């Protein structure tokens, strides 16, 4: 009998502030290049007075204890990102 081991994934939602509001699309493109997680989706969210933040979703392996910390560090290291904060986490 064949046994299949399924490893789940964790979905992480980040709120990302870009350094330059005029380059939000470039920032989203940069987020798509991260190596520590799999980019899923990103949206520009208006927060008032013409300011927008990016909400981005990534998946990481459920069993990797360091995945969240490594992904957060990688996102914050992107030159176009001012700061990134994980807001939600759930299993996929």
* Claim: this prediction has a pTM higher than 0.85: yes
Q: How confident is the model at residue 25 (pLDDT cuts 50, 70, 90)?
A: very high
Q: Domains in the chain: how many in total? A: 1
**Cα dihedral sign for 37, 40, 46, 51?**
positive
DSSP 3-state of 70: helix
In a domain, 13, yes or no: no
In a domain, 16, yes or no: no
- % of the chain surpassing 90 pLDDT: 80
In a domain, 74, yes or no: yes
In a domain, 47, yes or no: yes
**Containing domain of residue 49, as a range?**
25-91
The mean pLDDT value for 19-37 works out to 96
In a domain, 15, yes or no: no
In a domain, 7, yes or no: no
In a domain, 64, yes or no: yes
How many Cβ atoms are within 10 Å of 47's Cβ, its own excluded?
10
In a domain, 83, yes or no: yes
Specify the pLDDT at position 4. 47
Average pLDDT, the chain: 91
């Amino acid at each position: 009998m064949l046994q299949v081991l399924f490893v789940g994934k964790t979905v992480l939602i980040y709120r990302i502030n870009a350094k330059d509001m005029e380059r939000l699309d470039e920032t989203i493109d940069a987020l798509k290049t991260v190596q520590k997680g799999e980019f899923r989706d990103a949206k520009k969210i208006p927060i008032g007075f013409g300011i927008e933040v990016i909400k981005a979703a990534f998946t990481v392996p459920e069993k990797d204890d360091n995945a969240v910390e490594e992904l957060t560090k990688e996102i914050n290291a992107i030159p176009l990102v001012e700061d990134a904060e994980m807001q939600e986490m759930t299993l996929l």
